[in-house]
Chains A and B, each alone.
Chain A
Amino acid sequence: MKGILKIAFKLLVNDKGKFAALLMGITFAVFLMVMMTSIFSGVLRSASSVVINIGAKIWVMDPAVTTVANSIPMPDFVQHAVRSINGVKFAVPLYSGSATLRLANGAYQSVSILGLDDTSLLGRPELLEGNITDIFAENGFLVIKDSEINKLNNPHIGTTFELNEHRGVIVGIAKVAANGLFGMPTLYTTYNRAIQYIPSARFTTSYVLVEPKSVELVQHIKDEVKKMGYVAVTNEEFRENISTYYKYKTGLGTNILIMTLISFIVGLSISGQTFYTFILENLDKFGALKAIGAKSRELIIMIVFQAGFTALTGYGLGVGLCTLMIGLAKMRLPNYASVVTFGNLGIAFMMVLIIAIFSSLIGVRKVLKIEPFDVFRG
């Protein structure tokens, strides 16, 4: 069997033009499929960046909240009521909102602002410069060093700005695990300063962050919060909810799906057509092999091997190219929202398998139909 596969391999790769066309078709299709789904994954990750960065185990919120950016403020008593639930180790408020800063040069810039619980600073970012306790200093804010920081005119410790007629001072520069989706710089301050500086409605608590005493008590906490008319979700559930919202309620998921399907169809067409031509050109030779004594199953193995080898090689090249492009893009744009996940790779792999099976089928069908007698007849 090894010998037959070697013949199949040589027939395939020695036809350099067609092999290159086949590889290009599949590589291009895989590249597009992985790129599309990676961008989508990146967008979903960015959309959940606050959830990822704050990292609280349980989030309590209004049931109408669909994404972390669209919080619906809750009254203060919610935090106290949650604290009183049996099984809650601690519960603290989080402010999440946006505001417009007036920079030192007079320009205005929108920013995301997160107000951390004054006592615990739960969810604080990792500092690159400065001291975390300086956040309690007068007008203290931390700025996140990401691709958007330059929009604040390259701030450093001591940089000042104006926020709703309040003075703000950068007291630390920090980094976070995930960058935001909306292209705005992010500032962290204390909860009380946030609600004091930023114009707000009657209710001010965006989320209540909860630490359960044990994992087993999570469901009990959820049930108790539900009785209050609010909803408690775990970190993973919140991210999943945000993902579901973007997938099914914004059209983004549908568009990415359509683009992925188009990439698949392009790959299928190019490789199917090229492989079919490859088989057609060698059809008389396959007929001759049959006449000599090759069995149908041996010819099927040869064709399946050729299609499979091309598909897998193209898959590897496509994934490699995509990773390279994303890597290069991230070197220039650190906030570039694209993440290659195992799920994306799995989807692309399944689609490549379908391309290989389709290409094999049309080849096998043709080869099985050729009769050795046709070889004699010319």
Chain B
Amino acid sequence: MAKTAISAHQLVKWFGEGDARTNAVKAASFEANFGEIFYLVGPSGSGKTTLLSMISGILKPDSGSVTIDSTAIWTLSKDELADFRLNRIGFVFQDYHLFPRLTTVENVAIPLILKQRDWDEAIQEALRYLEIVGLKDRAQLPPFKLSGGEQQRVAIARAIVSQPDILIFDEPTASLDGDTGKKIMSFIKDEILNENRCVLVVTHDSRIFEYADKIMKMEDGAVTTIENKSEVK
């Protein structure tokens, strides 16, 4: 039986004050296992980004709990939580957020630098991961000289360079054409996912649903269904 990677229990989040107060996430609960790709899908404003932020330890829920591989993350102190994210969670942001003034390989090395690894050692390790994503020959270029798909792969290399067991993708195909999006998801499934890693993807791109192991639908802040991919298709 697959081991539980993420367990979210009755997560609630409110934003705003008075009449503008909105319940962004309403008692959301789910479990995601190691070795699977878990999708959070839903229309804009459905609360999936808020839920993703609470799961990844960057937005504190008003109530409920998140457990990642037996660690209740919201019981950790601020610094402990930062260390937890650094060591256990890899992020691929929708806009990649690569530093344009650093080279590609330096961007990839950032998590290792934050982990106080020696500069040269971190660069060598980052080069190895750039090779994995097929961009070793672009190592010394600044990210803005790369195509959208290449930047996405650089962001993936940065996310996995510290070997996290949870990978979080925020709209990974939003800026890519259909073919490139599928290639990226195929790469994630074939090369990045393994039995000790859980990949969480927030998307509303139905073209890539085929790569999901589980799909959780959200609407108006509430989890409506958790289905496997065959049911969605």
Q: Give the interface of A toward B (CB within 8 A).
A: 1-4, 6-7, 10-11, 14-15, 282, 284-285, 287-295, 298, 371-373, 375-378
Contact = CB atoms under 8 A, between A and B. Distances in A.
Given A293-B85, A293-B86, A15 B101 contact: yes
Contacts of B93: 288, 291, 375-376
A4 B109 CA distance: 11
A293 to B, nearest CB: 3
Contacts of B158: 292
Q: Which 6 A-B pairs have the closest CB atoms?
A: A293-B86, A288-B97, A3-B113, A14-B101, A372-B58, A293-B85
Interface stretch (B115-123, B176-184, B213-221): B115-123
Nearest to A14: B101
B114 A294 contact: yes
Given A6-B119, A292-B85, A372-B59, 15 more contacts: A3-B116, A3-B117, A14-B101, A285-B99, A288-B91, A288-B93, A288-B97, A289-B114, A291-B93, A293-B82, A294-B82, A294-B86, A372-B53, A375-B97, A377-B49
A6 B111 CA distance: 14
Contacts of A7: 99, 102, 106, 110, 113
Interface string B60-80: 000000000000000000010
B91 A291 contact: yes
Interface string B193-205: 0000000000000
Given A11-B102, A292-B91, A294-B114, A376 B97 contact: no
B83 interface: yes
A293 B89 CA distance: 9
A3 B101 contact: no
B160 to A, nearest CB: 12
Nearest to A19: B101
B94 A378 contact: yes
Contacts of B87: 293
10 contacts: A3-B122, A7-B106, A15-B101, A287-B97, A288-B91, A293-B83, A294-B114, A375-B97, A376-B93, A376-B170
Nearest to B99: A285
B61 to A, nearest CB: 12
Interface string B106-140: 10001101101111001000000000000000000
A298 B113 CA distance: 11
A11 B111 CA distance: 16
B129 to A, nearest CB: 15
Contacts, number: 88
Nearest to B202: A376
B95 interface: yes
A376 B58 contact: yes
A14 B143 CA distance: 13
B149 to A, nearest CB: 19
B28 interface: no
B208 interface: no
A4 B110 CA distance: 9
A4 B97 contact: no
B145 to A, nearest CB: 13
Given A291-B58, A373-B59, A378 B113 contact: no
A282 B99 contact: yes
A323 B49 CA distance: 58
Given A3-B113, A292-B85, A14 B102 contact: yes
Contacts of A377: 49
B72 to A, nearest CB: 18
Nearest to B118: A3
Contacts of A295: 79, 82
Contacts of B49: 376-377
A18 to B, nearest CB: 10
Contacts of A6: 113, 119
B140 to A, nearest CB: 13
A7 B158 CA distance: 15
